[in-house]
A and B are shown apart, each in its own frame.
Chain A
């Protein structure tokens, strides 16, 4: 299915990546021959049971964890070169904002870090960016004064501000309650649809994956591998109304059954 992408459009290319932990005796293979490509401006979700290595894959692409085998390239560069050029925007599971900095200073931080990597980037004005994330009133507030949802929005703005080539998001909404989560999810969708970037998005939520993604990568565990790649052929721009369509429900049913199959196979 990945063959449909034109080579010149490819942003991230993960080829035969293998990763294992532990010593010789208790060696656990977390990723086994994972191959995946993400086109420029494409939104790809990773979904799968816990222990399937989806967060590990994200860490490998982010350069936070070294693969034992295989290669990762980001716009033709190695992960290390990509980090040096500030091509990678990370949104961790928790907002991880610095409590001693205001929201504005937190979002401005990536611009001041590694300034050499700014060359050739269309840096965004942090104020404007925060405005469009609905945080214009909170510029001078401190993280502790904001709700969890607003903090996570600021963390996403922090990843967009330096115009990276790929955004890596590790279950960014998992700590929020369901209503808040949906609100943040739609906020991200709106912003992304008018600012297309390659995104690799780890999630536990099937509706979230469908609503946001162009493709859903379903992973299986023991060892962590790609079980199936599911195209999400739903029209864009999308909005809440999509939840109520038959196409959405059919796809949700399909993804859930595929997920169940993967989990049952693991149990045997």
Chain B
């Protein structure tokens, strides 16, 4: 899309702009239309497999307050849980990059925790901490913690050696090197980590709610309860909202990246 912004002023003809818009938006729209049509065909012929899209829409419209309340609970889990996970992951990365002994001491434990499936930990956490919000915060935080840690650590280490040499000849303190070189320099990696972490945060919150369904609100709980009652419109409306939440978080992040990381067009995802 940024391409069209950059090239549009080159030629002023509205026909040209129109072509651009169709070229950019046409194909994805077409894909969605095809999927929707197929969906409707399946739903109309098999009402016990999928709800029709209009039934999902009607369910959302009939009780927006209920959906809104559940959405807010899931959001709260993501903000608190993922927020804490992100901050802890980043801070531990800083500690590890500054003090090698910390990495040596803590990394094996972190690997052990991370290879343990979160889906398996969640019920144990519910047993330990009850059906309140705490186990949900922990599960959501746990899922985002690892990608944040790994990416931040990679970023803090990926320092421009030549710039570091300049800092060293100036006899810069470790704090000065961190503040003026490592911290700003690691931001592209931090954002790469966030882009992995954001969708995972939604997964974490939903999984946590599955385990403790029925006790507390949340879109994940809603999915489990509605599915158990074979209430397909509510099930799919909740799924759609979860999906929307994920898209929203990722878009927000992209916007934030553009504001903060304008100096780096290099996308380090997948490095």
Residues of A within 8 A of B (CB): 62-64, 83-84, 86, 88-90, 92-94, 96-100, 109-110, 113-114, 117, 142, 144, 158, 162, 168
Contacts and interface: CB of A to CB of B under 8 A. Distances in A.
B165 to A, nearest CB: 6
B267 to A, nearest CB: 15
A100 B167 CA distance: 16
Interface of B: 160, 162-163, 165-173, 176, 180-181, 184-185, 263-264
B42 to A, nearest CB: 51
A113 B169 CA distance: 11
Contacts of A64: 165, 168-169
B263 A109 contact: no
A114 B173 CA distance: 7
B168 A63 contact: yes
Contact of A83 (B162, B168, B185, B264): B168
Contact of A158 (B166, B176, B181, B264): B166
A89 B169 contact: yes
Given A94-B162, A96-B166, A113-B170, 18 more contacts: A62-B169, A63-B169, A83-B169, A89-B169, A92-B166, A96-B160, A96-B162, A96-B163, A97-B163, A98-B181, A100-B184, A100-B263, A110-B170, A114-B170, A114-B172, A114-B176, A117-B170, A117-B171
A144 B261 CA distance: 13
Contact of A99 (B167, B168, B264): B264
A117 B173 CA distance: 12
Contacts of A63: 168-169
A113 B162 contact: no
Pick from B165, B173, B181 the residue with the most CB of A within 10 Å: B165
A100 B180 CA distance: 10
A255 B112 CA distance: 63
B88 to A, nearest CB: 25
Contact of A86 (B170, B180, B181): B170
Contacts of B166: 90, 92, 96, 110, 158
Contacts of B167: 113
Contacts of B263: 99-100, 142, 144
Nearest to A95: B162
Nearest to A88: B169
B265 to A, nearest CB: 8
Given A98-B181, A114-B170, A90 B176 contact: no
- A-B pairs, top 8 by smallest CB distance, nearest first, are A96-B162, A92-B162, A96-B163, A83-B171, A90-B169, A88-B169, A99-B263, A100-B263
A114 B168 contact: no
B171 A86 contact: yes
21 contacts: A62-B165, A63-B168, A64-B168, A64-B169, A84-B171, A86-B171, A88-B169, A90-B169, A92-B166, A94-B162, A96-B165, A98-B163, A98-B184, A100-B184, A109-B180, A110-B170, A113-B167, A114-B171, A114-B172, A142-B263, A158-B166
A150 to B, nearest CB: 17
A88 B170 CA distance: 7
B157 to A, nearest CB: 17
A237 to B, nearest CB: 29
A97 B264 CA distance: 13
A90 B168 CA distance: 10
Contacts of A62: 165, 168-169
A113 B172 contact: yes
B160 A113 contact: no
A145 to B, nearest CB: 10
Nearest to B260: A100
A97 B163 CA distance: 7
Contacts of B173: 114
Contacts of A162: 170
A102 to B, nearest CB: 10
